[in-house]
Amino acid sequence: MDYVLCWGASWSYREEQIAWRLVSLLFVALGFRRGWSAGKALEVVGNSLAPIAAVVFIVGAGGGFKQMLIAAKISDLVGAWATHANISPLLLGWGIAAMVRIATGSATVATITATGLVAQIVERDPTVSRELMVLATGSGSLILSHVNDAGFWLVKEYFGLTVVETFKSWTVMETILSVLGLALVLILSSVVH
C-alpha cells in the first residue's frame, strides 16, 4: 500500500516501517545522550508500549469479530434482510453499531463490526451516501456507554465520580449524542443525495 504525502511523494508501507524504526532509534540515542542506562531505555520504551497494547488488542479483536461475521455470511443475511424489510440502510448501520456497543461496551468494536456488516449494502445501493453511513455507524457506536467501556472508567476516575454518577452523566450524554447524531444523519439524508 502506498501513501501519498502532502508534497506528492509516494511512501510505501515498508518505507513507513523504516521511518518509525529510525524515530525509535533516535529516541533511544537521545536517551543515552541524557545519561540513560540500557535498563532505563528499556523501561521507558516498555512503559510507552503498555497503554497502546490495549488499543491494538481491542482493534484487532473488533476486526477479527467483523471478519468472523463476514466469513459466516452474516453480512449477506443482513443485506438481504435489509433489502426485503425496506429499512433505511442508515438506520440499519446505526442500529447494528448500537446493538454491538451495548453488547460489548466498545465503540471501536461496534464501529468495525457495523461497518463490515453494512459495507455490502453501501456497495450495492448507489443511493446510500458513504459519508452519511460513516456518521450513522459512528453515532450508533456512542450509545449507552457502560462498565465495559474504557471511556466510562476514564471519566469516572478523572472527575472523581461514583459509578452511579457516571451513569447519570456520561452514559446519558453519550446516548443523547448517539440519538441526536442519528436524527441529524436522517435529516441530512433527505437533503443530500
Which pLDDT tens digit goes with each residue over 112-169? 888 888 888 888 888 889 999 999 999 999 999 988 888 888 888 889 999 999 999 9
- Residue 51 falls within a domain, yes or no? no
Which pLDDT tens digit goes with each residue over 68-121? 777 887 767 776 777 677 788 999 999 999 998 998 888 888 898 888 888 888
Range of the domain at 168: 66-191
Q: Minimal CA–CA distance to 75: which of 112, 102, 106, 105?
A: 112
- Residue 42 falls within a domain, yes or no? no
Q: 3-state class of 38 per DSSP?
A: helix
Which pLDDT tens digit goes with each residue over 2-58? 444 444 455 555 566 677 777 777 877 887 888 888 888 778 777 777 666 766 676
What lies within 8 Å, CB to CB, of 140 at 6+ separation is: 93, 94, 95, 96, 97, 98, 101, 110, 114, 178, 182
- Residue 50 falls within a domain, yes or no? no
Number of structural domains in the chain? 1
Q: How far apart are the first and last CA of the chain?
A: 31
pTM of the predicted model as reported, rounded to 2 decimal places = 0.67
Give the pLDDT of residue 14: 58
- Residue 48 falls within a domain, yes or no? no
- Residue 26 falls within a domain, yes or no? no
- Residue 37 falls within a domain, yes or no? no
Q: Round to whole Å and give the CA distance between 83 and 80.
A: 5
- Residue 148 falls within a domain, yes or no? yes
Q: Round to whole Å and give the CA distance between 135 and 184.
A: 9
- Residue 136 falls within a domain, yes or no? yes
